[in-house]
Chains A and B, each alone.
Chain A
Amino acid sequence: ETGVTQSPTHLIKTRGQQVTLRCSSQSGHNTVSWYQQALGQGPQFIFQYYREEENGRGNFPPRFSGLQFPNYSSELNVNALELDDSALYLCASSPGMTEGGNTIYFGEGSWLTVV
């Protein structure tokens, strides 16, 4: 187990609705990144939070937003859901921005289906 937990594990939403996904990072990790993995694709970087501040963003529209809390847990919010938002959403935590990549741990992901 990586110590990174995500919830919910599966959910179904209707187009136009909003969704919030949650991630608890591994103890001692202050950096959380979110990735979207569509079927048949590799994970795509959405954004990263470091000590409650957004610290880098991929090519995703503003309706994808996030938050990191003082305990370093994080939320991903997606507004105005579209069918193409259906994907596995992965959270990854690491102990810092400059630590080696071999200290990045993924949660098991949240499967989102938009109908």
Chain B
Amino acid sequence: RKEVEQDPGPFNVPEGATVAFNCTYSNSASQSFFWYRQDCRKEPKLLMSVYSSGNEDGRFTAQLNRASQYISLLIRDSKLSDSATYLCVPMGGANNLFFGTGTRLTVIP
């Protein structure tokens, strides 16, 4: 079983749409969780951390369900600049990040 499973997409949505990404992780010992964003041919960049209580950063909302080992990301009012690949990332011990394959989002004018 893979450490992290994500729907690879692609998700093609119009500007202004709301889009949701989900992922599941297999290591129940993971304590920290993140969403990273990766633009084409660039390095991954931290988008936001994910907390059990759920957290919001502007148009982005992340949720964690430890019981189901499930993480989600909601993007509201999509912008063209949101087009990227979104990577679900649980962290193992010693700051090792386990990346999923990512979900590709294209926001269409």
Contacts and interface: CB of A to CB of B under 8 A. Distances in A.
Decide whether A and B are members of one complex: yes
Interface of A: 31, 33, 35, 40-45, 48, 50, 55-56, 58, 88, 90, 92, 94, 96-102, 104, 106-109
Given A106-B43, A108-B43, A92 B34 contact: no
A102 B97 CA distance: 11
B87 interface: yes
B49 A101 contact: yes
Chain B facing A: main interface SS:
mixed
Contact residues on B (Cβ < 8 Å of other chain), bracket: 20 to 34
Interface string B28-69: 000010100000011111100100000000000000000000
A58 B3 CA distance: 12
A102 B34 contact: yes
Contacts, number: 66
Interface of B: 4, 32, 34, 41-46, 49, 87, 89, 91, 93-102
A97 B34 CA distance: 17
A95 to B, nearest CB: 10
Contact of B101 (A41, A48, A104): A41
